[in-house]
């Protein structure tokens, strides 16, 4: 029967049906989906249509193909990123990693850590309210959870605030940058985060090992001390398929 105007393509209908079955537990995490041929027979479509439906789920991050084994529902447990809890001074101020709020007992690794002493880039200088000629320390690293790359984080700290602290070293110590700033008398008391969701650049997709058509969350956080001075700017690129972003607000 010819499809009516406005109806979604058949492959999209099949993808919607399979997505719903993943959501209701018919196909739980780690389970094997039917092969293309079985889906095509059940839906009365060509194998190519079934293949396109499975590709939609792959691109959305619901499934992963294993060579020679078929298509499986992904078993990844989202990182629940609670911004207010992780940035509380009771967390980093007591020498704990802000990541402890997000990952529970999962394994965290900071990889490809780079420390550079550079003139402030124009956009960063504007956010820090300093001249472009002024020097900053740039801490650039990639975070892996259970061996999977989930974020690239690049933070900038004015030289006069970081000088003489472990911020200038690969290992910034318990509590990280914010704890070191507080020890130096520049502890942040206020944070601002700006987020936008977009498609990644080719370099970002390669860096985080993103599946095709996976978006990223670009996040820019500014940390301010009591007098309003911005003491750090952190630019983060998050694999959007790996995160659940949570914001708790007091009544």
| pLDDT reported for residue 75 | 79
Residue 46 and residue 57: Cα distance in Å, rounded?
18
pLDDT digits (tens, 9 = 90+) for 14-57: 999 999 999 899 999 889 999 999 999 999 999 999 999 999 88
| pLDDT reported for residue 96 | 65
Q: Which pLDDT band, with edges at 50, 70 and 90, does 128 fall under? A: very high
Q: What structural domains does the chain harbor?
A: 10-73 (1.10.10.10), 79-246 (3.40.1410.10)
Q: Which pLDDT band, with edges at 50, 70 and 90, does 76 fall under? A: confident
Question: What is the token pair recorded at 13?
Answer: 């209908």
| pLDDT reported for residue 104 | 76
Q: Are strands 79-82 and 243-246 parallel, antiparallel or unpaired?
A: parallel
Q: Which pLDDT band, with edges at 50, 70 and 90, does 208 fall under? A: very high
Residue 106 and residue 212: Cα distance in Å, rounded?
26
Taking residues 155-176, what's their average pLDDT?
A: 95
Q: Which pLDDT band, with edges at 50, 70 and 90, does 1 fall under? A: very low
Question: What is the token pair recorded at 45?
Answer: 């479509």
Taking residues 215-228, what's their average pLDDT?
A: 96
| pLDDT reported for residue 5 | 55
Taking residues 139-166, what's their average pLDDT?
A: 95
Residue 125 and residue 233: Cα distance in Å, rounded?
10
As to burial, measured by CB atoms within 10 angstroms (0-12 exposed, 13-18 middle, 19+ buried), residue 122 is: exposed
Identify the three-state secondary structure at position 223.
Answer: strand
Among 69-78, 86-95, 183-192, the minimum mean pLDDT is found in 86-95
Taking residues 98-117, what's their average pLDDT?
A: 85
Summary mean pLDDT of the chain? 89
| pLDDT reported for residue 7 | 74
Say if residues 180 and 166 touch (Cβ distance below 8 Å): yes
Q: Collect all residues with Cβ–Cβ distance below 8 Å to 70 and sequence separation of at least 6.
A: 32, 33, 35
């Amino acid at each position: 029967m010819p499809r009516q105007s406005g109806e979604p393509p058949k492959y999209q209908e099949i993808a919607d049906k399979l997505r719903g079955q993943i959501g209701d537990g018919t196909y739980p995490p780690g389970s094997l989906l039917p092969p293309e041929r079985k889906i095509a027979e059940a839906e009365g479509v060509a194998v190519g249509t079934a293949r396109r439906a499975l590709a939609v789920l792959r691109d959305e991050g619901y499934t992963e193909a294993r060579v020679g084994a078929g298509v499986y529902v992904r078993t990844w447990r989202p990182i629940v990123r609670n911004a207010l809890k992780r940035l509380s001074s009771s967390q980093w101020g007591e020498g704990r990693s802000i990541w402890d709020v997000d990952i529970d007992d999962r394994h965290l690794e900071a990889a490809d850590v780079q420390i550079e002493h550079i003139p402030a880039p124009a956009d960063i200088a504007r956010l820090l309210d300093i001249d472009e000629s002024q020097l900053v320390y740039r801490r650039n690293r990639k975070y892996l959870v259970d061996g999977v790359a989930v974020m690239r984080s690049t933070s900038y700290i004015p030289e006069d605030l970081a000088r003489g602290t472990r911020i200038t070293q690969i290992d910034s110590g318990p509590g990280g940058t914010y704890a070191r700033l507080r020890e130096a008398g520049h502890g942040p008391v206020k944070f601002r985060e700006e987020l936008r969701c977009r498609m990644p650049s080719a370099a970002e997709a390669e860096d985080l090992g993103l599946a095709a058509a996976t978006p990223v969350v670009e996040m820019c956080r500014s940390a301010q001390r009591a007098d309003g001075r911005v003491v750090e700017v952190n630019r983060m690129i998050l694999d959007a398929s790996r995160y659940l972003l949570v914001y708790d607000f007091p009544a």
